A and B are shown apart, each in its own frame.
Chain A
Amino acid sequence: MTDDKERLDRAIIAMRVARELPPGATVNLGIGIPTLVSMFVADDSIVFYHSESGVLNCGPLAEDGNEDIDLINAGGQFLEPVPGMAYFSSVDAFAMIRGGHVDVTILGAHQVSATGDLANWMLPDRGVGNIGGAMDLAAGAEKVIVAMEHNDRNGNPKVVQECSFPLTGKGCVSLVVTDVAVMEPTPDGMALREVAPGWSADEVQSVTGARLIIPDSVAEYEV
């Protein structure tokens, strides 16, 4: 049983993802855990943030009292102005995404399949959902990293063999970072790369809906 095993908190997931960002990369952060990633990018690793709201090189979330309704991110959160920003329209924001100019996007997900299909815009129960910029990011960003909890509130696995929820993009995910493991979708299936401290590969498999490809030795999360 893994029910009582300690899982990593959201900040640690964000820290682990931050290590995937090469210096000089242009990064688009989705809503939720991905937004936290910017807090953990090392000071000496320069990363540029792109937002579908129409701003490049934007700063961190605004300090209290410093909110400006004309400077927001894609989730509607207020941003701090920083030197070197550029503003543009939505058509240019998505030209950048589709045109392959965004190096990395970090997205949340409802499900990720063994081969990297992504489902993150609609829960079938609701019958309607918000696509927002997710499909454009899935199709256009050079690298898609999913940062999410390994299981949903009811314990259902979110890493699955095949997605049952409506897709955002096919075969687009290149890395999955959760609160128990780091995994890499491959044409052959989901490969386990790292496990959270205290977790074995078998334990990760027991809470995962996809058959994991488990190497002889699995590294522990490094953050």
Chain B
Amino acid sequence: MTFSKLYDTPATAVADIHDGATLLIGGATRNSEPTALLVALLASGVRDLTCVCDFADWDGSEGVLQLAHAERIASIISPFPFAGESGGVIRKQWQAGALAVEVIPQGTLAERLRAAGAGIGGVFTPVVLGTRFADGRETRTVNGVECVLESPLRADFALIRADRADALGNLAYQGAQRGWNAVMAPAARITIAEVDVVGEPGAIDPELVITPGIYVNRVVHAPPTGEQG
């Protein structure tokens, strides 16, 4: 038997994502978003999702926007939940009360995901102090600095995109693709990676592995479909 985390299709890799699940969705550009997994998720009919992502509503986003259009999203947690201008489907649903929005600054989101993946129960930082993001939050003075307690943000599934994987789930990225994908991989119970290239163990130099396979449960080979990036 050879062990492999490789799944045949995006559909099989997302088959157990259930109604009401909390999802981390990597990426902030087309090249860094797990497009094939999100298309499969849309086809699966799953609903009432909580989606944690950087830019939720922007032109390049295929997947998250399509989920929103199909009214599958119950809640968005994001530093940029809305389109830049006043329109946008997520804003519309939020205004209609059909969708909840929680806004979290980027650095705070990254730190909360990092804490979840690293088994940290909470961190004290001064960053959001004095802003509305500190309203109602536990604070304390640590070493003379007033700090706010940030709690880990865990999820059921992470859907991420990498450049290449080996069969053990080790991942390497290209450029800014690393940004959110590498932070989200450790923070979910099940992490599913969509990659351009899959190789045998050893295909990625161990010095160049950014997300070790311990964080990755499933790998789907989904090369770019030829659309303009």
Contacts and interface: CB of A to CB of B under 8 A. Distances in A.
B60 interface: no
Nearest to A84: B201
Interface stretch (A9-17, A50-58, A173-181, A199-207): A50-58
B85 interface: no
Contacts of B213: 48, 56-57, 84, 86
B119 A57 contact: no
A83 interface: yes
A85 B204 CA distance: 9
Interface size class on chain B is 20 to 34
Contacts of A24: 3
A99 interface: yes
Given A48-B168, A88-B212, A83 B202 contact: yes
Interface size class on chain A is 20 to 34
Chain B contact surface mostly: loop
Contacts of B212: 56, 86, 88, 92, 96
B119 A97 contact: yes
A211 interface: no
Nearest to A56: B212
A72 to B, nearest CB: 14
A44 B214 contact: no
B227 interface: no
B1 interface: yes
A95 B207 contact: no
19 contacts: A23-B1, A23-B3, A44-B1, A56-B212, A56-B213, A83-B201, A84-B202, A86-B204, A86-B212, A87-B207, A95-B114, A95-B119, A96-B214, A99-B117, A99-B119, A100-B119, A101-B214, A101-B215, A139-B119
Given A98-B120, A101-B214, A87 B186 contact: no
A88 B117 CA distance: 15
A156 to B, nearest CB: 34
Interface string A75-105: 0000001111111100010111111111000
